[in-house]
């Protein structure tokens, strides 16, 4: 697994390797994000495979470097949609991170001109093991939830 802020090795397996040539229209690739103030977990998935998997973790505190790394991933995978987990209290009320997640989603859309879907991420960390969970695994749970809900189809 890549260390914080480093590049991710192209995936093999359920989702395949990044490629823009010859991709079927039905195989819409998506990148999922678990936004945090220290780390941003990233996952990749596709509607054709209906599967998501962890990709990498980016150090969010690096600011411009984080955006550069996200841009590289978008160039590499050419996703048709970006999926962002939106944090909320267990009862659904917004809290301080809700606004930050929404801002991150708007920045993704503005910087990269891609469709950005939002997913309620209230229980993603609990699903992958709580506070000790890897952020890329939480991103995969968020993206898988979006795929399971029809993935914008």
For residue 2, the model assigns a pLDDT of 37
* Residue 11 binned pLDDT confidence (cut-offs 50, 70, 90): very low
- At 104, list the tokens: 């991150």
On whether the CB atoms of residues 43 and 55 are closer than 8 A, the answer is yes
Across 89-95, average pLDDT: 91
For residue 113, the model assigns a pLDDT of 96
**Annotation: CATH topology of 29-148:** Nucleotidyltransferase; domain 5 (3.30.420)
Q: How many CB atoms lie within 10 A of CB 18?
A: 17
For residue 47, the model assigns a pLDDT of 82
* Residue 129 binned pLDDT confidence (cut-offs 50, 70, 90): low
For residue 128, the model assigns a pLDDT of 63
d(CA 123, CA 117): 17
For residue 37, the model assigns a pLDDT of 92
List pLDDT tens digits, range 99-114. Answer: 999 999 999 999 999 9
* Residue 150 binned pLDDT confidence (cut-offs 50, 70, 90): confident
Sheet holding 51-59, edge to edge: 51-59, 39-46, 29-34, 81-86, 115-120
List pLDDT tens digits, range 14-50. Answer: 344 454 444 444 568 999 999 999 999 999 999 888 8
Residue 52 confidence (pLDDT) above 90: yes
Q: Where are the domains of the chain?
A: 29-148
The region that residue 85 occupies, defined by phi over 0 for left and psi between -120 and 50 for alpha, beta otherwise, is: beta
């Amino acid at each position: 697994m890549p260390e914080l802020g480093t590049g991710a090795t192209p995936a093999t397996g359920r989702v395949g390797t990044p490629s823009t040539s010859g991709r079927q229209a039905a195989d819409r690739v998506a990148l999922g994000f678990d936004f945090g103030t220290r780390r941003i977990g990233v996952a990749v998935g596709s509607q054709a495979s209906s599967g998501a998997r962890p990709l990498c973790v980016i150090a969010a505190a690096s600011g411009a470097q984080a955006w550069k790394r996200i841009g590289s991933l978008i160039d590499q995978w050419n996703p048709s949609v970006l999926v962002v987990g939106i944090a909320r209290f267990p009862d659904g009320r917004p809290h301080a991170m809700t606004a930050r997640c929404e801002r991150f989603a708007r920045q993704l859309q503005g910087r990269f001109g891609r469709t950005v879907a939002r997913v309620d991420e209230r229980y993603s960390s609990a699903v992958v093991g709580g506070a000790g969970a890897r952020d890329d695994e939480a991103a995969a749970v968020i993206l898988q939830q979006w795929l399971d809900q029809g993935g914008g189809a």
